[in-house]
Structure 1
Amino acid sequence: MHEFRRLLTLHFDVEEVIVGGAGFAAAPAHRARHRQILTDIDAMIDHFAVDRSPALRHEAVDSMEQVLFEHEIVEDTQYWEFLHDHRGEDMASPLLEWKSVYAIGVDWIDDQHRALMADLAKVIVCAHDADTRDQAGAMLDDFVEHTRGHFAEEEKELLRRGSSVTEHRRHHQSMLDRLTEMAAASKANPGALAAEYLTFWLLDHICGLDRTDFAAS
């Protein structure tokens, strides 16, 4: 059950990055629904530790299976329809390009965001070229390290401005944990990870918490 919870958390994180990066207006509500499902699973795990009745476990698992089915088939349909309707309009292309709308108004941070986009675009290009495909994994590792350094500099800047950095740092650490885990698992096909997930991951970082926190500081 703990392993199922871990995998479901990863699945939810991927969903949240994609819908957030794509600009889905209901992304916060979707994220809150994920948190509620995970909280219910935690309560189930705690209860299993006290009551080991097979009948109870079957009933609880059946109930959770129904909740997840309804979430995936009914609630997730909303954002899949959104992605389909906006493909080629608001969504990023596989080859990332900097756009003025991504600027948050802090020149050096915008420059670093632009550089991260360029790094990610290079991973995608290299991964799809037979002559350079074997270099894509190392380039993805470089992207991870550049991102780690960028996050640290953002946190220092928030502290310099006298802003609270606790939530921003927690968000960064969560993003780094997932990035590191997924990069390690995608060595065989880093191009797919970069084009199908990290594009939205980076846009979620730039257009989400960064825009909110640096506008307020």
Structure 2
Amino acid sequence: MVRPRRQVGCRVTRQVSWLSLMLTYYALFLLHQQSSLERTMSPKVLRAIGHAAMDAQHLLLMDLVQKIVTTLREGRSDEEFITSCIEFKEALATHFSAEETALKDASYSKYKEHAEKHSEIINSISTSIEALKLVTSTSTKFSIVNEIEDCLYNHEIVDDCDYSGIAHNIPESYCWDDTLSVGIEWIDSQHKNLFSMAKVLGEYVRAENWKLAQFVYARIIDHIKKHFDDEELHIGHIGADLLSHRRSHLHALVALNDMWDGDHSDILKKVEEFIYHWLRQHIINDDQADLAGNISQK
């Protein structure tokens, strides 16, 4: 009777050891997932390459990455997660196309190699998205989020910064220049951002990517409302003609709100009219008159 008891004891010991091992593996898996989520949720800072439109596009792409992370963190549906990944891939492809055109126009010596890397990144992300449609486990989602973030971050750091030295040769279709300066650093900076965002919007409209164009359009609305609030507060502080300036801002908001009405074919024309006619003329005729020469700059 003693021997069977020892055998039972051995079986129990083996079962306990196996259970302990499984619990250890599971704990490590949970720690890995938590580490991956914390890694993904930690915002990376992209280095500026010195080209306003490209820098703005990089920031918009990072916003889309964070949108993907949010769907994962909040446990939203598989369909919504996949849709967010596809939206990012489409935005990235549009950005790559614009970047390749700009680099080619600037006679960048490594243009072909850069374009090939773009193609490799898009193919890799496309493959991962297709796999995700078949296997939607949490670990698979973590993997694709990390891949997307690493592709964007590493490419920007290693490859895009390589052409930062010739960024001044890359043509800007919506250019802010020194003639538009009001002499106040933070206001000039906000104006530059508006030009850059409008440049991105114009590229998405030309590509007829209406979903992403509307995404950027919403960002422009938010940015310009904050800019107007900041500018009006400063104008009131220095005692300039706030009423007239605010009236001009209201006209701009009406024009922006009407921009998305009607046929899509008119949107690009409206964007260009807003930038070339209203924004530039407003800075020259109103902002410079009310703000230039004031000493309260920061």
Q: CA RMSD in A?
A: 2.5
- The yes-or-no answer on 1:159 pairing with 2:104 is yes
Unaligned runs of 5+ in 1: 1-86
State the match for 1:4 in structure 2: none
1:5 aligned residue: none
Find the partner of 2:123 among 150, 154, 177. Answer: 177
Return 181-190 or 137-146, whichever deviates more: 181-190
Q: How many positions carry a matched residue from both structures? A: 127
1:131–1:185 distance in 2 versus 1, CA, 3 Å: closer
Asked if the contact 1:127–1:133 (Cα under 8 Å) also holds between the matched residues in 2, the reply is no
Instruction: Give structure 1 regions of 4+ aligned residues with deviation exceeding 3 angstroms.
Output: 131-134
Q: Which has the larger radius of gyration?
A: 2
TM-score by length of 2: 0.39
Residue ranges of structure 2 left out of the alignment (5+ in a row): 1-34, 168-298
Percent of residue pairs identical: 20
CA distance in structure 1 between the partners assigned to 2:80 and 2:160 by the alignment: 30
Which of the pair has the greater relative contact order for Cα pairs under 8 Å at 6+ separation? 1
Aligned: 1:199 with 2:163: no
Query: Quick one: distance in 2 between partners of 1:186 and 1:113?
Result: 25
Cα offsets for 1:154-188 (capped at 9, x unmatched): 00111121223111111111111111111211232
Partner of 1:136: 81
One-letter amino acid of the counterpart of residue 110, structure 1: D
Q: Note the 1:37-116 alignment, pairs <5 A.
A: 93-95=39-41, 97=43, 99=45, 102-116=47-61
Aligned to 1:28: none
Aligned letter for 1:119? L
Conserved in 1, the CA contact under 8 Å of 2:128 and 2:144?
Answer: no
1:150 to 92, 95, 103: 95
Q: Please report the TM-score for the alignment, with normalisation by the length of structure 1.
A: 0.52
> Aligned pair in 2 of structure 1 residues 148, 131: CA closer, same or farther (>3 Å)?
closer
